[in-house]
Structure 1
Amino acid sequence: MVNRSQESVPDAVVVGAGPNGLVAANALADAGWTVVLLERNDEPGGAVRSAEVAAPGFVSDLFSAFYPLAAASPVIRDLQLQDHGLHWMHAPAVVGHATPDGGAAVLERSPEDTAAGLEAQAAGDGEAWLAMYRHWRAVRDPLLQALFTPFPPVRAALRLARRQRTAGLVELARLAAVPVRRLGHERFTGPGGRLLLTGNAMHSDVPPDGAGSGFFGWLLAMLGQDVGFPVPRGGAGELSGAMARRAASVGVEIRTGTAVQEVLVEGGRAVGVRLTDGTTVRARRGVLADVPAPLLYEQMLPADAVPAKVRADLDRFEWDSGTLKVNWALDGPVPWAAPGLDRAGTVHLGVDEDGLLEVAKDLALRRAPARPFLLLGQMTTADPTRSPAGTESTWAYTHLPVGSDWSEEAIAEQVGRMRHAVEEVAPGFGARIVGEYVQSPDQLQDWNPSLVGGSINAGTSAIHQQLFLRPAPGLGRAETPVEGLYLAGASAHPGGGVHGTCGWNAARAALTAHGPLGVVKRALVRTAWERLLHEPGGRTGPVPLSARPTADHLATSRAGIDD
């Protein structure tokens, strides 16, 4: 639709109805803005969708499936999605890890039960787990606040400092950097605790001997122990559906089947978008893009709107690993050999602790792991509505090197390895398969262009591309060098996962830019961008207005940092 009057022009256009785009649209509408949300696919949700693909009556989550970050996120919680049809479900146990030798470790719903299982494997490991959980509870609230607010999280850091003092802060800083393999060996004598930490760390693309992997393993394990790994009743699509219904209830106009080709820039400011059919949708106050940073800067913006230094920095952008996912319909439960795994919603399998290093090495060398590491979801175990009684809707995914050209034969070979890995720890698994649906990295990207090469986190989680370095040095916030344009996707801090923070941060930046101190804040942002773009390695000469960002930005950082 071509807008014909100022009255018909919305305050904001949000590109992409993934969870971050949906959060951004909700936040803006809650603040009284008129919002148009544009989504390429025929339904909203991005990588939070479900369908019956393996067999009729078996609901498969097409991308993400378990949502500890959503359950912990104040951004998601404050949307009150239970009023819009969302109902969380939990498996009897949270996470299991099966090893090829028949061993297993299980993260139970209660810390005491988890500790009892670890203590049975090695004396002292139960208390070590409980000590780790007590530390988590001590830092939980300010740490989550720090993760779920724009960078830098000043107020949250002050809360942490008050609670932890110097020694505690030093220990927390070490936790943020230590490899998970080292962390596991420092804390636990037996294999169980180490497997739970390392398996959870492998949800990211950081190798188990890589800096920062310990933090990811600790964070997900502790979230699992705290809030569980919940799933939406009826399928992942019920989570995004609730977010979309809430957005519609506060006046957001959601247009599906509407692909955006480019962001319109006039006089150095984003003023709307052009669709692939040639029509335009203009915006009075801002454009928020829930897309990966390279797509935004390299494909959706005019070349002269992106400063040379930003382009050069994004040339170094690193994607996370690709993903191969297989959905299965089973005529019965997974026949696990080790006890306890039948109760876990998520099961890690395929390799032991040492094997995880081999997987990481294969990925680094850009080859498919001969013994893949799998994350497997038992969806009917977590939510009985996912398939007929007595059956199981399950899936598994594994990582592949991103950017490789995978032939059908290579994909089929790796799927065979995945089936074998499950069969090894669940003899008879193959005989229970009554339906199978494979999602290759290319198909994942076809279904959701934000999953470039099957990358599910919109960029590596490695420490060199986190915090103020995400998606590139100096771009650690939602603001961009184009006034009125905000990065709302997972390429922005704090990164991947269904927590909605990237969209929330973008919405806050836009709102603050048009608040009482908006003019001052836009001036601060313009100055900050000029300094950044004049640093060594950047462009020389004066920065044209078309390349200068709005003052909305850094000022959002200053006044609205942890509000």
Structure 2
Amino acid sequence: MTTPTETVDAVVVGAGHNGLVAANLLVDAGWDVAVLEATGTSGGAVRSAEVTAPGYLSDLYSSFYPLGYASPVLAGLDLDRYGLAWRHAPDVLAHLFPDDRAAVLNRDPAVTADSLERFAPGDGRRWLDAYADWRSVAEPMLTSITTPFPPVRGGLDLLRRLHVGGALRLARRLVLPVRKLGDELFAGAGGPALLAGCALHTDLSPEDAGSGVYGWLLAMLGQQVGWPVPVGGAQRITDALVARLTGRGGRIVHRARVDRVLTARGRAMGVRTVDGGRWRARRAVLADVPAPALYLDLVGAALLPPRLVEDLAHFRWDGSTLKIDWALSAPVPWTNRAVATAGTVHLGADLDGLTGYAADLARGRLPRDPFLLVGQMSVADPGHSPPGTESLWAYTHLPFRRAWRADDLTAHLDRVEQVLEDAAPGFRRLVVGRHVAGPAELERENPSLVGGALGGGTSAAYQQLFLRPIPGLGRADTPVDRLFLASASAHPGGGVHGAPGANAARAALARDRALTGAGYARLIAAAHRTVYR
């Protein structure tokens, strides 16, 4: 019996948030779009569920969304019309030092400045000066981050605002290690810790080139817009994207695992699913999957330039992850009560401790003193748990591995909980439920989280811009005509901002234009021949 072929304008492989963003933009352009999702649920790493105890909602992967809240891509989709609303914790972020001091970031710049002033006289003013610098470039920076490479419009706007000298100084700041950036901006320990803790949301160390820009971006967005959460959990972002897409005629098919991109004469013609189903794409195939999966598994090395396949051998994943959710019968009993009102807490290390932690990861060792990123979800959105309780999570990075011994992860879980117990004596007595997701569990529930890596590939400078995912154009276009990479493996990388999906949709639309599409295709093909010859 022959499986019938369905025909649409575009097939989107994967219903993560980037795939859903891409599908929404194509539907807006009048295209007939089908999204094929391998699992039974849309959303990828933007999902929520009760996994610890009844009445306690956990965000299973991502939680706080400064980039999503500030993203021009998501703002342009008007997701508030589809039920998305935001809440803020009283304080954005607290970095708790081993000696129990805390640097606190609040949406009121004066409150943040007062916290940093306690670490060194003048650091409050230095924070306000750094924030003023950020405000002068924030709009073109966000435009540059969320548009295709090269960022012509954002780059020209930055040059107009800063002139040549200022643009060169900004370029220097963008490649600084976060330790060096903190040293240049502040005299005390509080400001550098805020920046470095933010940088370590990635897989970089405080000494890595380019780590400063991540710390600066997340900290300054926290000052400008906060780190908000969706009311009702991360799932609300996905629900809004799905409602918008289906309301405009798009389709999502779950448990439709794609195992091959179908090509003819160097062009993507559609996809095949593991059950033998075939989906013909008149105009484009967009893939919200990691780059190695797209190129090596779905397309196949034989159909790609040999140099591209060689380069993929050097593709580097970001670190593995251990994620724990707890249901607590009462709020976390922090010794330092300044931490109690922060939505996010960075915990377990000062700046030197962060360097040691990152060095252990770089050497493939489990850190004996793990650095934790902690989310107090009920502080940010009380609806996450019953009154007077807390839905808490923490994650910590691990060296990247595809397989882990259960004993190693259990021992590391004990270390994680001890870090919390040291900072909040009595924490363990409050636990009424716990859910542990190691690298294998994360990948099982979301196949794009390979080995528990959350970022679609390292954030290191050698795998960014035109080097992401491998040396090339830094664009969604691939050497296969009408096939586009729409995942976090593409520029600008991880984070819930929708830019890789939007960039892929823009590229597909540019390729399909009646008057200029053929010329666009020839230009991209020539560029790929130059890069991969």
TM-score of Structure 1 vs Structure 2, range by shorter chain: over 0.9
Query: 1:132 aligns to what?
Result: 130
Aligned CA RMSD, in angstroms, stands at 1.1
Deviations 1:427-474 (A, max 9, x none): 111111111110001110111111111100000000000000000001
Amino acid at match of 2:274: T
In the alignment, the residues of structure 2 paired with residue 323 and residue 302 of structure 1 have an alpha-carbon distance, to the nearest angstrom, of 29
Q: 2:295 aligns with which of 294, 297, 301?
A: 297
- Show the 5 A alignment for 1:346-365: 346-365=344-363
Question: Where does the alignment leave 5 or more consecutive residues of structure 2 unmatched?
Answer: none
Q: 1:211 aligns with which of 206, 209, 212?
A: 209
Q: Does residue 460 of structure 1 match 2:458?
A: yes
- Show the 5 A alignment for 1:93-242: 93-242=91-240
The percent of aligned pairs where both chains have the same amino acid is 53
Displacement, 1:345?
0.4
Deviations 1:167-223 (A, max 9, x none): 211211111111111111121111111111110010111110110111110000001
Q: 1:12 aligns with which of 6, 10, 13?
A: 10
In the alignment, the residues of structure 2 paired with residue 530 and residue 365 of structure 1 have an alpha-carbon distance, to the nearest angstrom, of 37
522-531 or 175-184: which moved more? 522-531
Query: 2:56 aligns to what?
Result: 58
With the length of structure 1 as denominator, give the TM-score of the two structures. Answer: 0.93
Displacement, 1:166?
1.9
SS at match of 2:337: coil
393-402 or 34-43: which moved more? 34-43
Q: 1:499 aligns with which of 476, 497, 501?
A: 497
Q: Does residue 244 of structure 1 match 2:239?
A: no
In the alignment, the residues of structure 1 paired with residue 347 and residue 403 of structure 2 have an alpha-carbon distance, to the nearest angstrom, of 26
Query: 2:256 aligns to what?
Result: 258
Amino acid at match of 1:285: R
Query: 1:529 aligns to what?
Result: 528
Displacement, 1:475?
4.1
Amino acid at match of 1:526: A
In the alignment, the residues of structure 2 paired with residue 261 and residue 81 of structure 1 have an alpha-carbon distance, to the nearest angstrom, of 32
Q: 1:273 aligns with which of 264, 271, 274?
A: 271
Q: Does residue 450 of structure 1 match 2:460?
A: no
Displacement, 1:121?
2.5
- Show the 5 A alignment for 1:505-524: 505-515=503-513, 516-524=515-523
Displacement, 1:523?
1.4
Query: 1:488 aligns to what?
Result: 486
Q: Is the 8 A contact 2:455 2:489 kept in 1?
A: yes
In the alignment, the residues of structure 1 paired with residue 317 and residue 141 of structure 2 have an alpha-carbon distance, to the nearest angstrom, of 26
In the alignment, the residues of structure 2 paired with residue 532 and residue 485 of structure 1 have an alpha-carbon distance, to the nearest angstrom, of 18
Q: Is the 8 A contact 1:70 1:76 kept in 2?
A: yes
Amino acid at match of 1:456: L
Amino acid at match of 1:63: Y
SS at match of 2:415: helix
Displacement, 1:533?
2.1
Amino acid at match of 1:385: G
- Number of positions where the alignment pairs a residue of Structure 1 with one of Structure 2: 531
Q: 1:44 aligns with which of 36, 42, 45?
A: 42
Q: 1:421 aligns with which of 419, 422, 434?
A: 419
In the alignment, the residues of structure 2 paired with residue 249 and residue 3 of structure 1 have an alpha-carbon distance, to the nearest angstrom, of 26
Amino acid at match of 1:529: H
In the alignment, the residues of structure 1 paired with residue 260 and residue 139 of structure 2 have an alpha-carbon distance, to the nearest angstrom, of 39
Displacement, 1:44?
0.6
SS at match of 1:405: coil
Displacement, 1:351?
1.2
Deviations 1:477-528 (A, max 9, x none): 1000101100000100000000000000000000011113111111112211
Query: Structure 1: which 4+ aligned runs deviate by more than 4 Å?
Result: 1-4
Amino acid at match of 1:521: Y
Deviations 1:153-177 (A, max 9, x none): 1121111001001221121111111
With the length of structure 2 as denominator, give the TM-score of the two structures. Answer: 0.98
Q: Is the 8 A contact 2:178 2:207 kept in 1?
A: yes
SS at match of 1:283: strand
In the alignment, the residues of structure 2 paired with residue 308 and residue 408 of structure 1 have an alpha-carbon distance, to the nearest angstrom, of 38
Amino acid at match of 1:181: R
Q: Is the 8 A contact 1:3 1:9 kept in 2?
A: no
In the alignment, the residues of structure 1 paired with residue 473 and residue 435 of structure 2 have an alpha-carbon distance, to the nearest angstrom, of 39
SS at match of 2:340: helix
Deviations 1:364-415 (A, max 9, x none): 1101100000000000100011000000001000000002531111111000
Amino acid at match of 1:122: A
SS at match of 1:200: helix
Amino acid at match of 1:433: V
Displacement, 1:3?
4.6
In the alignment, the residues of structure 2 paired with residue 429 and residue 51 of structure 1 have an alpha-carbon distance, to the nearest angstrom, of 23
Displacement, 1:309?
0.6
Query: 2:31 aligns to what?
Result: 33
Displacement, 1:267?
1.8
Displacement, 1:529?
1.6
Deviations 1:253-306 (A, max 9, x none): 111121111111122111111111111111111100000000111111133211
In the alignment, the residues of structure 2 paired with residue 283 and residue 466 of structure 1 have an alpha-carbon distance, to the nearest angstrom, of 30
Amino acid at match of 2:530: R
Query: 1:559 aligns to what?
Result: none
In the alignment, the residues of structure 2 paired with residue 2 and residue 501 of structure 1 have an alpha-carbon distance, to the nearest angstrom, of 35
Q: Is the 8 A contact 2:360 2:367 kept in 1?
A: yes
314-323 or 187-196: which moved more? 187-196
Deviations 1:286-334 (A, max 9, x none): 1000000001111111332111011001110000011000000000001
Amino acid at match of 1:229: W
Deviations 1:222-242 (A, max 9, x none): 011111111111111111111
Amino acid at match of 1:351: A
SS at match of 1:17: coil
Q: Is the 8 A contact 2:402 2:439 kept in 1?
A: no
In the alignment, the residues of structure 2 paired with residue 3 and residue 269 of structure 1 have an alpha-carbon distance, to the nearest angstrom, of 21
Q: Is the 8 A contact 1:100 1:424 kept in 2?
A: no
In the alignment, the residues of structure 2 paired with residue 231 and residue 198 of structure 1 have an alpha-carbon distance, to the nearest angstrom, of 22
In the alignment, the residues of structure 1 paired with residue 403 and residue 124 of structure 2 have an alpha-carbon distance, to the nearest angstrom, of 45
Amino acid at match of 2:389: T
Question: Where does the alignment leave 5 or more consecutive residues of structure 1 unmatched?
Answer: 535-563
Amino acid at match of 1:528: A
Q: Is the 8 A contact 1:3 1:282 kept in 2?
A: no
Query: 1:540 aligns to what?
Result: none
Q: Is the 8 A contact 1:2 1:281 kept in 2?
A: no
Query: 2:326 aligns to what?
Result: 328
